[in-house]
Amino acid sequence: MADTDTFDLVVLGGGPGGYVAAIRAAQLGMKVACVEKESALGGTCLRVGCIPSKALLDSSELFDQIQHKAESHGIGVKGLSIDIGAMLKRKDGVVTGLTKGVEGLFKKNRIVWVRGFGRLAAADRVEVEGEDGKQTLEAKHILLATGSVPLELPFLKYDHERIIDSTGALSIPEVPEHLVVVGGGVIGLELGSVWLRLGAKVTVLEMAPTILPGMDAEIVKQADRIFRKQGFDIRTGTRVTGAERKGDKATVTIEGADPLEADYVLVSVGRRAYTEGMGFEEAGIRMERGVIQVDERYHTGVGNVYAFGDAIGGRMLAHKAEEEGVAAVETIAGKPGHVNYAAVANVVYTWPEIASVGMTEEEAKANGREFKVGKFPFMANGRAKAMGDTDGMVKIIADAKTDRMLGAHILGPRASDLIAELALAIEFQASAEDIARSVHAHPTLPEAVKEAALGVDGRMIHL
Ligand code: FAD
Ligand code: NAD
């Protein structure tokens, strides 16, 4: 490539927001470059987030099933062992397969990957510093999709060996005897589950009154009970004030309680937008506490510069970033790009899984909505019984007068897959009756969704 090259669109960041936007723009006929500083495309999600965490969750779940469930199926297993090195290698293989896949998609769509650190030099120019020196990209449109990084609290500094962030927790080289998790949010519970299943003692310290604050309270209460039964030591209302490395251990200090000693401390207290040192403010882009401010079209208000994904705040989810990126590109191309945030599902990949879309019962109350609730336990679902996975329930919240779906919450096996039907229902503005009248194959887990929808009108068949 020449020192200066010209594109219709330059995307800063090759995560799920950036790479998906790049592909959609190429489909729409634009000449596209994507600037990514890391050695692989795919961003947090593919390299150190969604994908490696799910690979380890699947490995550890398999181990847990063999250990605790095989016998009930009449399967005897002797000499069960774990090779952490092999497990981590498998995870890395899954990641490489997918990041290489994105590279392949770039080639197929003639998207140029410019490897290096990019800065917004002007509203129509990105400067990239890479291994081969500096390069300038001129663009009619620029998309900022620089994502997020783990939050580091001033009193809880990472040493990246014993006091680690989520990236570190994806590569612990041994099963810790004691893993202390600071923050009972989604990362703490997912990665805590991995190491708990593999044999670690896992203590979760959460400052809020419950784990997973903000999710439907009834679902969280049930999940909390199940997680404790699995062996999690969950301490809510517990504020961590510091962590100190001492040799191969670390000590965690807690407000009003005795300190805890751990082999590893996973600090998972949230993530922050990654936007500093890239010339955004200098270019006149409005920022609030590091978060890029955009309008409903993802426009920053400066030239033809747009932004989306974790860097603009809101819920930090890969599928949210993807849809925003597509909406931004379609808007640029004169199409009606739009994201319906009410239909964005949220999943916690513990076992059982937790998935939700739309309003929680608490939000419906706070909004002064009159609503009805239908609930169906997996205990009464034939397929869940056959699987031996009967914990949890489906809960559907519908408007009391119109029956329109307001929200849905699932705690149970494959909740991550089951929520898709309910997200679609909300997208189509369906009523609970629409779901209740749809024929669901038997015996399947989705029948629990249908039964919960019937439950909104008090006419469940199997309960
Ligand atoms: P990112 O994925 O962070 O991508 C931004 C990219 O931009 C990065 O690759 C970065 O290197 C690059 N970049 C930034 N600045 C520059 C620059 N100046 N020059 C060049 N390159 C730059 N979400 C889900 O929906 N489901 C999950 O199961 C899930 N699991 C997760 C598990 C973990 C452990 C973590 C940490 C996150 C998880 N997430 C999950 C969240 C998800 O990863 C993020 O919401 C998503 O990756 C955001 O996409 P993005 O494109 O906005 O940003
Ligand atoms: P989170 O916001 O989900 O949870 C952080 C928790 O830490 C909160 O419950 C908070 O109350 C607690 N906390 C904060 N300070 C504390 C302190 N001093 N002592 C004790 N507890 C404290 O954040 P996360 O788990 O780090 O995840 C970051 C983001 O990554 C999530 O918001 C999510 O958007 C994304 N993510 C999504 C998935 C998924 O979709 N399955 C998986 C992983 C991460």
Which atom of ligand 1 is found nearest the CA of 117?
Answer: 19
Cα→Cα distances 145→19, 296, 357, Å: 9, 16, 24
Can you list the domains of the chain with their CATH numbers?
A: 4-150+272-339 (3.50.50.60), 163-269 (3.50.50.60), 343-456 (3.30.390.30)
Ligand 2: centre distance to CA 187 (Å): 6
Q: What is the pLDDT of residue 2?
A: 57
Ligand 2: centre distance to CA 12 (Å): 25
Contacts of 75 (CB under 8 A, 6+ apart): none
Is residue 155 packed enough to be buried (19+ CB in 10 Å), middle (13-18) or exposed (0-12)? exposed
Residue positions counted in the chain: 463
Can you tell me the mean pLDDT for 7-21?
98
Q: What is the pLDDT of residue 251?
A: 98
10 phi, psi to nearest 5 deg: -120, 130
Residues with CB under 6 A from ligand 1: 12-18, 35-38, 43-45, 49-50, 53, 117-118, 145-148, 166, 187, 274, 278, 309-311, 316-319, 321, 349
Q: What average pLDDT is seen over the chain?
A: 97
Residues with CB under 6 A from ligand 2: 182-188, 190, 205-208, 213, 239-240, 268-271, 315-317, 347-349
Residues assigned a catalytic role = 442
CB-facing half-sphere around the CA of 433: CA atoms within 13 A: 7
Q: What is the pLDDT of residue 3?
A: 66
Instruction: Yes or no: say if 95 and 46 are a contact pair by the CB < 8 Å rule.
Output: yes
Nearest CA to ligand 1 atom 27: 50
pLDDT, one tens digit per residue, over 273-331 is 999 999 999 999 999 999 999 999 999 999 999 999 999 999 999 999 999 999 999 99
CA of 183, nearest ligand number: 2
- C-alpha 422/C-alpha 357 separation (Å) is 7
Where in 289-425 does DSSP place strands (E)?
Answer: 291-292, 305-307, 346-348, 353-358, 371-377, 393-399, 405-412
CA of 148, nearest ligand number: 1
Ligand 2: centre distance to CA 275 (Å): 20
Q: What is the 3-state secondary structure (H, E, C) of 168-203?
A: HHCCCCCCCCEEEEECCCHHHHHHHHHHHHCCCEEE
Ligand 1: centre distance to CA 55 (Å): 17
pLDDT, one tens digit per residue, over 215-259 is 999 999 999 999 999 999 999 999 999 999 999 999 999 999 999
Residue 146 has pLDDT above 90, yes or no: yes
Residue 130 has pLDDT above 80, yes or no: yes
Q: Which of 393, 395, 402 is nearest to 433 (CA)?
A: 402
Q: What is the pLDDT of residue 4?
A: 75
Residue 344 has pLDDT above 80, yes or no: yes
- C-alpha 35/C-alpha 18 separation (Å) is 9
Nearest CA to ligand 1 atom 3: 147
Can you tell me the mean pLDDT for 166-177?
98
Ligand 2: centre distance to CA 266 (Å): 11
Instruction: Yes or no: say if 60 and 29 are a contact pair by the CB < 8 Å rule.
Output: no
**What's the pLDDT band for 1 if we cut at 50, 70, 90?**
low
Query: Which pTM was predicted?
Result: 0.98
Residue 389, number of CB atoms within 10 A of its CB: 19
Which atom of ligand 2 is found nearest the CA of 151?
Answer: 26
